[in-house]
Amino acid sequence: MATTPRTDDQTLAVDISPAGVMTITLNRPDKLNAVNDALSYALIDALKTARKDPAVRAILLTGAGRGFCAGQDLESRSIGAEKGEIPHLGQSIRNRYMPIITLLRTIEKPVVGAVNGVAAGAGASMAFACDVRIAAESASFIQAFIKVGLIPDSGACFMLPRLVGLGRAMELMMSGRKVKADEALQMGLVNQVVPDDELMTTALALATDYAQGPTKAFGLLKRATNRAMDCDLETYLAYEADVQEIAGRTADFAEGVAAFVQKRPANFTGA
């Protein structure tokens, strides 16, 4: 049975479908879902629930209204500056963005990003940390950090070059220019672009497909891919053998093989 994450405000909406898709909707539409403290902690809470609840077998991350997420809430930073407070951005990142990005990248379940509008700053980073991105035609990506005198954070310097190559990533990060959905598709930043009114049905259908798949294998392939990003081939191949050993002991592997031999669709349970 699915558990509902503890969210004590309205900055996040969470729904778990019967198929096991947890849809997390960033919910500050008037501010393009800019990340304030409440939203960040609610998101961490929801992702931790998604990680531990076996009834959740895939995650869908999207935004309410016309934005996906405009990154850090700059109004809260401006209030601090007016009071003469020294900003401790390292602490802010360690406490809020590090857990969010780490959870998105390491939850051993598929994470689909449904990018419904502008994704700027740390909002773009959250989209990059999803496993797969489906973008609405009106979506866009902005490495907004440089415009406010910051370095790309929340994993952008790590993920963006891996997604689009170093040269393109540097240009995007140094210019802070807007990348529209069609260009994002062309450079491999998103997997698919769909008309705005088809975004959620398309993304939910994909997440539902994943939720009905061999959940442990999805998790293990995320583990293996994360490892592959920072080691040499020899190390990776040894790691891969260990991970495949685990996959080979799952009920879903036995079911997959049985279904193949019996020429029928597999009924994966995530076990």
Closest approach of Cβ 53 to ligand T3D, in Å? 28
For the chain, the 3-state helix, strand and coil shares in percent, each to the nearest 5, are 50, 15, 30
* Amino acid making up residue 256: G
Q: Which is nearer to ligand T3D, 16 or 169 (CB)?
A: 169
Closest approach of Cβ 201 to ligand T3D, in Å? 25
β-bridge mates for residue 132, sequence order: 112
Closest approach of Cβ 59 to ligand T3D, in Å? 21
Q: Which is nearer to ligand T3D, 196 or 255 (CB)?
A: 196
Virtual torsion, Cα 222, 4, 202, 256, nearest 10 deg:
50
* Amino acid making up residue 47: L
Q: Which is nearer to ligand T3D, 174 or 257 (CB)?
A: 174
The candidate with the shortest Cα–Cα distance to 196, out of 53, 67, 82, is: 67
Virtual torsion, Cα 96, 98, 103, 106, nearest 10 deg:
180
Identify whether the C-beta of residue 71 lies closer than 8 Å to the C-beta of residue 28: no
Residue 148 CA, distance from chain mean position: 24
Name the site residues for ligand T3D (rule: CB under 6 A). 31-32, 34, 70-75, 77, 89, 92-93, 118, 120-122, 142, 144-145, 147-148, 150, 153
Closest approach of Cβ 246 to ligand T3D, in Å? 36
β-bridge mates for residue 15, sequence order: 23
Q: Which is nearer to ligand T3D, 20 or 121 (CB)?
A: 121
Q: Which is nearer to ligand T3D, 76 or 225 (CB)?
A: 76
Closest approach of Cβ 265 to ligand T3D, in Å? 43
